[in-house]
Amino acid sequence: MLKKYSILVSDDSAVVRKMLRHILEEGGVGNVFEARDGCEAVAIYREHRPDVVFMDIVMPGKTGLEALAEIRAHDQSARVIMASSTGTRKNLKEAIDSGAVDFIQKPFEKESVLKLLRRLLEGEWE
Amino acid sequence: MFSRLFGQFLLHEGYVTANTLSSALGRLDEVRPLIGMLALAQGYMTPAQVEEINEAQKKQDKRFGQLAIEKGYLTVEQLESILSGQKSELVLLGQILVRDGLLSHDGFLMALEKYRKSAGLSEEGYEAVKANDIDGVISSVLSGQPGSGRPVAESWASVFMKGVIRFVDPGAAIDPLAAEHYRDRVAFIQRMRGDRSLFTFMAATEEVFTDLARRFSKFEIDGFDEMAEAAAGEFLNLVNGLFTVNRSDEGIELEMQPQQRLTGSAKLPVKRPDVLLPLLLPKGILWAGLFLDTQPNLS
């Protein structure tokens, strides 16, 4: 069901990208892009327009929130999920106020990730 | 299910919209916790009892606590425990949503129960955590250490150990007799700043970190390579992240700095850490440490 979608995973940690890619591929997502920082994320978004972006908040160079703002400026309908290991009220509020569609806590758990994607992409509430 | 903020849970479960949540989060500092909401969250009173006292307050000029005691819904001890308790953002958030008419008292209680269940441990480490009374073990290991009796230190140690049990090795244990050679080992550090200042680290041999990385990431990792290093660093990040979630629910905000591996001649501080945990893993000891309210220099 998720085969027709493409997802961009933006995180400076190689292991986090690999773990999330693994979950997405196991969940049947058709195409997974990876970005190592905010700049790459913006560039890949502009080129491929993925259906959903998982964006880490704390990244060197351009932060996740800065990249989110650029992506939203380019495409108001962009669906960006902010991801972070730190879960402070400030992070959550900043992410929502900046136009993120959701906020997810690391570590990525397969069921939570896929449930969230199905809700966003297919409108399914379980 | 993993830990997440109550607000995040309410959003994910469809209790609130993003805008409602953002507005409520922005007002947290303006509200004072109500005894009724705290009593509800503690399980001392039922929603019907809270509503009854709220109604009674409209007719009598008495405080909530006084009326609840008169009715026999609260004991003096329970009221004292509520009044001396920590500020809970979780309760404040519920309180705003109830006041705005977005949740009933019943709805708040149900959401809270569901949240607590989902935020708890439910993975394979759960039984191990339950069987081991981690908090009891931690407090006994810390006795004699500078962090003993300090809630933030004990809480961090507890989150770290639970993280190891949950994500790395359900059989992990404390080895109180381990020789303290942690400063000669490979080390990862991570600082947190905000309402408190924390310096956290973990130290071990490459072999221990490689094994930890393999177990944590579930990837084939044969040696202490780039992937092993990234996975080990991410593990520290994850544990500290879970710790910040717990703290944030209690009103203490901490910003995590990126974690880093100590390289070259940089070594962990000579000063004794407030917390030093020797965790026995299959390949040897993993040292976890914390300096509280200080940012010691690397030596």
* Test mutation, A26, A86, A90, A116, chain B, max B CBs within 10 A: A86
Q: Residue A51: phi, psi to the nearest 5? A: -75, -35
B32 forms bridges with which residues in the sheet? none
- Of chain B, the end-to-end C-alpha distance in Å amounts to 40
Sequence-distant (6+) residues with CB within 8 A of B92 are B28, B31, B33
pLDDT score for A125: 58
Angle, vertex CA A12, rays to CA B253 and CA A93, nearest 5: 35
Residue A1 lies in a domain: no
Q: Distance between CA A26 and CA A18 in Å, rounded?
A: 12
- Please determine, for residue A23, whether its predicted confidence score (pLDDT) is greater than 50: yes
Q: How far apart are CA B60 and CA B58, in angstroms?
A: 6
Q: What residues of A are in contact with residue B254 (Cβ under 8 Å)?
A: 86, 88
- Chain B residue nearest residue A100, CA to CA: B18
Q: What span, in angstroms and rounded, lies between the C-alpha atoms of B118 and B4?
A: 9
d(CA B262, CA B71): 61
ipTM above 0.90, yes or no: no
Question: What tokens appear for B147 in the block?
Answer: 């962090």
Q: Give the H or E element holding residue B152.
A: helix B151-167
User: Which residues of A make CB contacts under 8 Å with B?
Assistant: 13-16, 18-19, 58, 60, 84-90, 92-93, 96-97, 101-103, 105-107, 109, 112, 116, 125
Q: Give the B-side interface with A, CB within 8 Å.
A: 1-5, 7-8, 11-12, 14, 18-19, 21-22, 25-26, 28, 89, 167, 194, 213, 217, 219, 226-227, 230-231, 233-234, 237-238, 240-242, 244-245, 248, 253-256, 258
The pLDDT tens digits for B129-169 are 444 567 777 877 888 899 988 989 999 999 999 899 888 98
Residue B221 CB burial class (10 angstroms; 0-12, 13-18, ≥19)? buried
Contact (CB, 8 A) for A68 and A98? yes
pLDDT digits (tens, 9 = 90+) for B254-292: 888 878 899 877 888 888 899 999 998 888 899 999 999
Name residue B49's amino acid.
Answer: Q
B189 or B87, greater pLDDT: B189
The SS3 of residue A53 is strand
Give contacts of B230 with chain A, Cβ < 8 Å.
13-16
- The total number of structural domains in chain A stands at 1
Q: State pLDDT tens for residues A55-75.
A: 998 888 888 999 999 999 999
Q: Tell me: the pLDDT tens digits for B216-232? A: 988 889 899 989 999 99
Closest CA to A44 of A4, A78, A95: A78
The token pair that represents A65 in the structure block:
């929130």
Domain edges within chain B: 6-119, 125-292
Beta carbons within 10 angstroms of residue B86's beta carbon: 11
Question: What are A2's two structure tokens?
Answer: 């998720």
Domain that holds residue A18: 6-122
The CATH number of the domain where A10 resides is what? 3.40.50.2300
Closest partner residue to A86 among B2, B11, B241, by Cβ?
A: B241
Region A92-113: what's the mean pLDDT?
A: 85
Instruction: Please provide the CATH number assigned to the domain covering B125-292.
Output: 3.40.1550.10
Per-residue pLDDT band at B1 (split at 50, 70, 90)? very low
**With an 8 Å Cβ cutoff, are A103 and B11 in contact?**
yes
Do residue A89 and residue B253 have CB atoms under 8 angstroms apart?
A: yes
Given a cut of 90, whether residue B247 has pLDDT beyond it is no
Residue A99 lies in a domain: yes
Give me the pLDDT at residue B240, please.
93
> In angstroms, rounded to a whole number, what is the distance separating the alpha carbons of residues B5 and B229?
28
pLDDT of res. A71: 96
Query: In chain B, what residues touch A16 (CB-CB under 8 Å)?
Result: 230, 234
Instruction: Determine, yes or no, domain membership for A117.
Output: yes
